[in-house]
Structure 1
Amino acid sequence: MQLFPLKIFPSNTNFDFMRVKNLNYALSVFLFILSLVWIGIYKFNFGIDFAGGISMELRINQTPDLAKMRMILNELNIGEIVLQNFGSDKDISIRAGISSEENLMHNIELIKSALKQNFPYEIEYRKVDFVGPQVGNQMIQSGIMAMLLSFLSIMVYIWIRFEWQFGIGVLAALIHDAVLSLGFLSVTKLDFNLSTIAAILTIIGYSVNDTVVIYDRIRENLRKYNKKTIGTIINMSVNETLSRTTITVFTTLLANLALILYGGEAIKSFSVLVFFGILIGTYSSIFISAPIITLFNFKNLK
């Protein structure tokens, strides 16, 4: 029995990607500026990790009804409530987004009282902490540093593996993807928490992987067809890798869709942002990082 490889696009496509490069540049610049302006005006919906709040760890004698528990605690109107399991089904983490220490003990007692009155559980409060805004600011700084270090590491890798001209294309695509993803986060008002930083780093890694595959083919074709124009070679290379690119993004989006549908509120920001970022990263790999290298001279490429 002969198995045929899965293909969304045939391997002999001949799309003229370079024909629309100026339109794509204009669209990307517009979305880039719009994202920065939106972020500047409307900021982010910072979660408990950054804004501060109450953090409680509970152990319950039976598997609790988290949906009902979340509904009861949200009715208290003391701030954003995040519930999730950790370790086991009987270990619960409760975080309440309270940025001020005023009425702190009162709000903690409200949570304990609501749980006692509505659930016939034996509850052991193993840890009760308050995450202050100062800690949140430190986390923001750490998150920014993590993204900057990831950018630097990627640029060193590209500089070693490719010529410096390719590095400019990668840098442009990564900044484009990161800013548009943050703009999407600001527009949708998804929680900006620690998982958001992980999502941005995931998007950056995915975008680089996609771009490196296309760049490998461009460099190979530059050496093979040294009499063709750089625009023709880029079109040829993107078309040759298009089937691989579409299959990768399709399967990755399917896996991510499962996280969106079944992952629950605890990872909602992460899964939705990664879904959007994969689309943006695929777009930038084809329409930003590849065409931008036409600005450079590759006649002396060895």
Structure 2
Amino acid sequence: MRLHFVRWRFLWYALSLAVILPGLVSLATRGLHLGIDFTGGNLLEVEFHQPVELATVRQVVNTFGLPDAMIQKSGTSVFLIRTRPLEEKQSQELVKDLEQKVGALTLLRSDKVGPVIGKELTRKAFFASLITLVILLAYLALRFDFTQGVAAILGLVHDVLVVLGIFSLLQLEVDSSFVAAVLTTLGYSLHDTVIVFDRIRENIKIRRLSEPLGDVINLSIWQTLTRSVNTVMTVLFVLLALYFLGGATLKTFVLALIIGVVSGAYSSICDASPLWYDLKHWREKRRAGAAKAGRA
């Protein structure tokens, strides 16, 4: 016998809240561990006198106590090292450590730099995201139904809170790549949700006179479930390979994507459509109540 997703909707809501609420508490009390892109720091550019591997430089920088440093390689021997704010003495010690453990080098640049993503850019990005959500709501309302648009937006908010909450709980570093991962998650989740909603719309036209709405929604979820599971598993195989084999610089970005993709698949199947069911019934009850009051 098939699981009825709509009848079990309160279990799905409870599971979502069980993940989101601890994350919200952590966000309120500890916040996010902002990386160099948000906080600024020091920028060192060094050129070794012989070819050097990136892993060798990263190992020395990590040993120095800067595991969150961003290191970029240019050519065979030039490295750009971006670290948290350092005192002049610490910066000199890092250069000396690199010279002793890696090889002779020339210091090309040593500067203090501001954040790549400052407060002004963060504020503008936040407002741009709000405007995007409003536009998405309008589009979904025109294509489907206003309550379906609201349910889809709530699903997106769910996914963002899950990713932010887990990163706050684990105090994982947040940088510009994390922002890109969150935006990618939103696109994936919305696409998955729209496919389910599209099938619901088609089935309502065919079965609305013969079956309850909850059964039609459940049928639509099951009809798209194989596609949703296959898609998320295909994406996860690639992401897991990148996480374990792609190197340290990709881990934060890929982990955010893994969390986001799993959350997006869950919300599109278990949350968005059941939420639309509840919102639709709540709206119909309000209309019926208003009509009854008008007749009275």
TM value normalised by structure 1: 0.83
The match for 1:260 is 243
d(CA) in 1 for partners of 2:98 and 2:145?
61
The match for 1:46 is 34
Aligned residue type for 2:20? F
Change (3 A) 1:218 1:81: closer
Q: Does 1:166 align with 2:148?
A: yes
Deviation, structure 1 residue 134: 9.7
Change (3 A) 1:286 1:69: same
User: 2:204–2:216: 8 Å Cα contact kept in structure 1?
Assistant: yes
User: 2:173–2:252: 8 Å Cα contact kept in structure 1?
Assistant: yes
What's the secondary structure of 2:159's corresponding residue?
Answer: helix
Aligned residue type for 1:117? Q
Change (3 A) 1:122 1:32: closer
Whose helix fraction is larger, Structure 1's or Structure 2's?
2
User: 2:26–2:168: 8 Å Cα contact kept in structure 1?
Assistant: yes
d(CA) in 1 for partners of 2:45 and 2:264?
37
d(CA) in 2 for partners of 1:167 and 1:40?
28
What's the secondary structure of 2:64's corresponding residue?
Answer: coil
Deviation, structure 1 residue 147: 3.6
The match for 1:130 is 112
The match for 1:177 is 159
Change (3 A) 1:124 1:208: same
Question: 1:104-136: CA deviations, max 9, x gaps?
Answer: x323322222222222355462x4432336964
Deviation, structure 1 residue 54: 0.8
Query: What are structure 1's unaligned runs of at least 5 residues?
Result: 1-12
The match for 1:220 is 202
Deviation, structure 1 residue 57: 3.6
The match for 1:97 is 84
What's the secondary structure of 2:7's corresponding residue?
Answer: helix
Q: Sequence identity, in percent?
A: 30
d(CA) in 2 for partners of 1:134 and 1:245?
36
User: 1:48–1:97: 8 Å Cα contact kept in structure 2?
Assistant: yes
TM value normalised by structure 2: 0.85
Change (3 A) 1:66 1:146: farther
The match for 1:22 is 10
Change (3 A) 1:141 1:89: farther
The match for 1:9 is none
Aligned residue type for 1:292? L
Aligned residue type for 2:79? I
**Number of aligned positions between the proteins:** 281
The match for 1:66 is 54
Aligned residue type for 2:274? P
d(CA) in 1 for partners of 2:204 and 2:255?
38
Deviation, structure 1 residue 225: 1.0
d(CA) in 2 for partners of 1:145 and 1:264?
34
Which of 17, 20, 24 is the matching residue for 1:32? 20
Deviation, structure 1 residue 83: 4.0
Which of 96, 101, 104 is the matching residue for 1:118? 101
d(CA) in 2 for partners of 1:288 and 1:272?
22
Deviation, structure 1 residue 139: 4.7
